[in-house]
Amino acid sequence: MDIRILSIGTLSANPLWNERSPVRTGHATTTLIQTQDAKIIVDPGLPPQMVQARLAERANLTPQDITHVFLTSFNPENRRALELFENATWLISPTERESVGIPLAQSLAQLAQSKQAADAEGRDLPEDEQLLLDHLTKDIQLLQRVQPAEDTITTSVDLFPLPGVSPGTCGLLISEPTTTTLICGDAIPTIQHLKAGQVLEGADRKAAQASFQEAIEIADTLICGRDNITQNFTANTPQKH
């Protein structure tokens, strides 16, 4: 078993730094898990060329070597380089896939009706609606390819649901003989959030707090969704509200 960070992520705006609006381009922490029978990329959040470079620099691998890509959520900041891994199996939690897919399909259907009406009248859609239609179409195409993950991806790598930031946010629990590592996604975004016992603003707070507590109770090591890997120094510490 080999676990390594390919790229450390960041929040576009971090309230713990007194930031209330985006000041940078947010992207997820990207992790590589290598087992005897799988090479798994988690949350390829940087642009494709950057993820490809990190993969070569940090692990001497190419995108063709990757067997699976797992998304802790369908947030665009978690999947910018998804299509780089054309030969891999793309996975997401079944709950996240369903909770994202239904509203995407509804929104696309509404815009498609508007497009049909505009075509019938011989006019173009307003530019903003056309851009949204293109965006939704691309998201639907990606989501259709992403498969609902089984509870176990490979030996010692299991799904660990962490709802709150989104209904289906889901981490990966990696079990080794003497330690457990949890890839947290945005359930624990940064080490500062971990220390402060705080979850992301805008989350379903009750669910997010429960997920936070479960994460720190089960894992020896945590990989934060927008930060580095860290030892779990807060195990059994009550969360702040």
pLDDT of residue 119: 75
Say yes or no: 200 and 225 in one domain. Answer: yes
Same domain, 213 and 186: yes
**What per-residue confidence (pLDDT) applies to 66?**
98
Centroid of chain to Cα 238: 26
Q: What six digits make up the tokens of 61?
A: 């691998």
Strand partners, 158: 152, 173
CA distance 117 to 161: 42
Q: Are strands 152-154 and 147-148 parallel, antiparallel or unpaired?
A: unpaired
Together in a domain, 48 and 159? yes
- Residues of the domain holding 110: 96-144
Beta bridge partners of 7: 30
pLDDT attached to residue 60? 97
Same domain, 135 and 31: no
Is 111 found in the same domain as 191?
A: no
Looking at residue 105, its pLDDT comes to 83
Residues 33 and 126 placed together within one structural domain of the fold: no
Domain boundary among 144, 165, 184: 144
> Do 51 and 153 sit in the same domain of this protein?
yes
Tell me, what CATH number does 217's domain have?
Answer: 3.60.15.10
Q: 207 and 102 in one domain?
A: no
Low-confidence ranges of the chain (pLDDT < 50): 237-241
> What is the amino acid identity at position 155?
T
pLDDT at 129: 81
Nearest-Å Rg of the Cα atoms of the chain is: 19
> Quick check: is 125 in a domain?
yes
Is 236 part of any domain?
Answer: no
Query: Does 162 lie in the same domain as 189?
Result: yes
If asked whether residues 87 and 100 sit together in one domain, one would say no
Q: What is the pTM (predicted TM-score) of this model?
A: 0.90
Domain stop point among 104, 120, 144: 144
pLDDT value for 172: 98
Cα angle value 99/108/121 (rounded, 5°): 165
Please enumerate in sequence order all residues whose Cβ is within 8 A of that of 72, keeping only pairs 6 or more positions apart, or say none: 28, 42, 43, 78, 162, 169, 170, 171, 172, 183, 184, 185, 186, 225
Same domain, 155 and 174: yes
72 is a domain residue: yes
pLDDT of residue 193: 96
In a domain, 188, yes or no: yes
Tokens of 18: 């007194």
- 240: in domain: no
**Phi and psi torsions of 5, nearest 5°:** -85, 125
Q: Tell me which of 109, 144, 179 is where a domain ends.
A: 144
Residue 235, pLDDT score? 56
Total domain count for the chain? 2
